[in-house]
Structure 1
Amino acid sequence: MDPDLARGSELRKVSLNRLEAAIADHLANGQQPTDDMRYLAGLTGIDYVFFYPETQDIVIAGPAEGYMLDADARPLGIVSGQSVLQLEDLIVALRAYAPGQQPTGTVGVSIDPTKEGLTKMQQFLSQFGKRAVPADTQRIVEGLKSSLGRQVISVRGVAPTTHFANILIEADYRMKLIGIGLETPPVKISSYVRRASPSKVSRNALQRWYFVPDYESVTVSDDGFAIELSAEGVKLVGADELVRTDGTRVKSGKSDLASEMFVKSFTARYTDLARKVPVYAQMKNLIDMLIAAAYIQEQDFYSQANWSMNVFADEQKMPVEIYAEAKEVDTAVNAIWKGNVLMTPIGGGVNINARKAISAKYIKPDEEGTVAEQREKVSLDQLQDGQWWWD
């Protein structure tokens, strides 16, 4: 690690096209990107995207510090313990909104039971009727797991064999575990099952919760050369469904107060949770990367910067689709008795429409000029040849 990089910075700047050029030089000399490149100079978030037409630099900026790897090989800030951005994830985001290509619609994942599994679950539950008693709990849990089988993982908008996709899958799955009371979060989030009322929960109910961006999180300067991303950028939303006897799912048309309270609680505590559980900070960073990439493409900074992204866009030069594809996951079932009501399986996922966040309907104007001012404070005059980050 560069000793200068190890010093913390409130606003470290990384020029994306200078970074790519530096990596191209390494590759041309038979060298791989350095750790400082792989971990984006220790950035722990993206607060701003700046464009400088006079030097043709596309810059991301945010807090940064020295980094280390935890027991799960996740890069974390040495001082704060915050998740550090990774180049391989940024490359995936940039490819989703690459120069000269159609923009990606939605990036996301979904973890769902199969129609056959839901049919078998309904048949299994009907066998019990109202005869189930708490002594049957373990048998019911095992029966539900067996009848449902493994749930299917679907990935949209990015390659399923990337670290990016794996983070979305993990965040989604662990959120569901919190919701049904199988994982206790390190911050106070009231689970769905704690609040669920027997009179409100249908036996064939399927709670579905989705992570989405907070689409009102982007402030844009008048000239369009700078955007600021909000620190609060992730929401959890609900969509309640019912499962028919043949396993098909239909919208319930009813709101579930317990579900509403869970998603509000999760959203309100998301930032606190992300400070303690790295995967949630990683997902927030992925969302910000997608929004940044979508904005760069929409504003056509690529052509203005004369940047064709020849290295980052090339899987042969910068391989990021190198992970085993996760296709299935074990069904998580919890049985908590309130009267004779049993909690049911969870579906849902992550849906990120980055272009929606930068649409005219949602962007906020830089009324005080503070975003433009931040951009103007940044100087590129002292950068040396090959230098791609600075404080």
Structure 2
Amino acid sequence: MRSSLLGRSVQNGLGLWMPALLLTAICVGSMASSVQAGIGLGNQNAVGGVMIAPDGSVRAATPDEQKVMAQVVRNAIDAPTGDLAKATDFRVISLKKLQAKLKEADQAGKHLDAETAFLAGLQRIEYVIVDQENNDLLLAGPAEPWMVRADGNVVGTKSGGSVLRLDDLVTAFRSVESARNDGGIRCSIEPTAEGRLRLQNFLKNVTLRPGQNPAYLEAGMRQAFGPQQILLAGVPTDSRFARTLVAADFEMKRLGMGLAESPVAGLPSYLEIAKNQVQSRNSSPRWWMACDYEPIAHDEAGRVWKISGQGVKTLTEEDSFNQDGTVRGNGRKNALASKWADMMTAKYEELSIERPIFRDLRNVMDMSVVATLITQQQLDLKSQIDLGVLRGSESNVELASYEMPKSLEPQCSFIKGRSGWTVTASGGVNLNAFGVSDNLATDETLGKVAVAETAADRWWWDGK
């Protein structure tokens, strides 16, 4: 039986237990023989700088933790050389040859190198190309050399955006059917009904004197609220993919509720823009991040498919509270909550450079859309390629495994308005790749896209 240390607790060469600030995938000092689809450094308590411990505690990684992790990552991964050290607008990946490399590594008992774990520096998948002559499917898009930031995140040297990961691509392919059965891939961090009732009872006994700052109540309000549930659907809960969803949701809530300072100008917290405004007693704004793509374009023959759009947008609606503490979406939108959602959407690209977890979220959305498109349009059958390695039915590509807590310590803010209290605590991610892959448009100009020949011994190359 094969075993994997990928994503589990291991000691680095310094003999220190380190938080895995990156959801990456290079194994250090492991004797496991199965192919590792990622970089496992230290323990699995963090992603994107957000510490998520199995006991439910959550906090930002300290500067010292980030500094040490950055050095550990630099020591563990190879720097890009040759063509990998050059940025390009069009890097092509052969899924046929990538799978062959994974098979070879599995049979030889080798771990994957950084070149493979980081998908040759790919920044985004913009094209899916059916190569019938070679029974292949090609993925193409811009690529850059990678570097390790001071906080330990691995990003492109040109754009500063997080690189795509093989680990996430494999998870995306293996989650298409589960996402179909679950109605999409979803993540939310929710208060319990009991916690809402405790909070309502707490607030009934609160009387603020004129001019008194309600901030002193927040500790007691959080205690009354209690732990928040982590709800996931459509994707394995122990995957890097799932932790990316949770960490992005968590970080969005921190920005929206003023629990973390915005790193970009022009994106104040919701609390700032809603200060001293009328607040409803029986409803609260909810924000979530969802897919934001243009219709997927394809040529007449269905040979070339182009994926475009920002990838992620922020949406909102109000939650109404029932007497038993449960909530329901009422379909209404708070004007100020909508303003904040629109501001985050407009600032998303800039924000994702400062907070790489948001670029990681777009990356997993891109890969889910690609995997779903290939499945829905049967592009593998059209090219007569067997994707058994990526889909998990062939060979032994093991993924990082992270212990996911079922609840987190409460992260919520409270606004005392002229008509009552507003509690902002709910959020989430809704990844409906099926809706994206079904929204198609014909573009005859895509038939002119040509892909240059590759060297026989390489699974990626540059140029149109």
Taking structure 1 as the reference length, the TM-score comes to 0.90
Q: Which residue is equivalent to 1:94?
A: 173
Counterpart of 1:379, as a letter, is A
102 and 113 in structure 1: CA distance in 2 versus 1, 3 angstrom threshold: closer
Aligned residue pairs total 381
Structure 2 residue 267 is matched with structure 1 residue 189: yes
- 8 Å CA contact retained: 2:279, 2:416: no
Q: Which residue of 1 aligns with 2:41?
A: none
Q: Which residue of 1 aligns with 2:456?
A: 384
Q: Deviations over 1:355-385 (max 9, x none)?
A: 11121xx32321xx343323xx2123x4313
Pairing 1:158–2:235 present: yes
Residue identity over aligned pairs, in percent, reads 30
Change (3 A) 1:175 1:217: farther
Structure with bigger RCO (C-alpha 8 Å, 6+ apart): 1
Q: Note the 1:211-290 alignment, pairs <5 A.
A: 211-252=289-330, 254-290=332-368
Question: Which of 297, 320, 340 is the equivalent residue of 2:399?
Answer: 320
Provide, for residues 317-374 of structure 1, a one-character-per-residue CA deviation record: whole Å limited to 9, x for no partner: 2221511113222212334555575441321211111111121xx32321xx343323
The counterpart of 2:437, out of the listed 351, 358, 375, is: 358
Aligned-pair distance for 1:103? Answer: 7.0
- Any stretches of 5+ residues in structure 1 without a counterpart? none
Alignment deviations for residues 255-277 of structure 1 (CA, whole Å, 9 cap, x no partner) = 31111101111111111211222
| CA offset digits 1:120-160 (Å, max 9, x no partner) | 111111111x5366646344101111011111111111101
- 2:39 corresponds to: none
- TM-score, structure 2 normalization: 0.76
**In the alignment, what sits opposite 2:379?**
301
Structure 1 residues 201 and 252, CA gap change in structure 2 (3 angstroms): farther
Please give the alpha-carbon distance, in whole angstroms, between the structure 2 residues aligned to 1:336 and 1:103: 39
How far residue 217 of structure 1 moved from its aligned partner, in angstroms, is: 4.4
Aligned CA RMSD, in angstroms, stands at 2.4
- The CA distance in 2 between the partners of 1:207 and 1:132, in whole Å, is 26
- Does the Cα contact within 8 Å between 2:304 and 2:446 map onto a contact in 1? yes
What residue in structure 2 maps to residue 42 of structure 1?
Answer: 121
Unaligned runs of 5+ in 2: 1-79
Q: Give 1:299's aligned amino acid.
A: Q
CA distance in 1, matches of 2:151, 2:269: 26
Shift of 1:27: 1.7
In structure 2, the CA distance between the partners of 1:23 and 1:328, relative to structure 1 (3 Å rule), is same
Deviation at residue 199 of structure 1 after TM alignment: 5.4
Aligned counterparts of 1:336 and 1:345: Cα–Cα separation in 2: 8
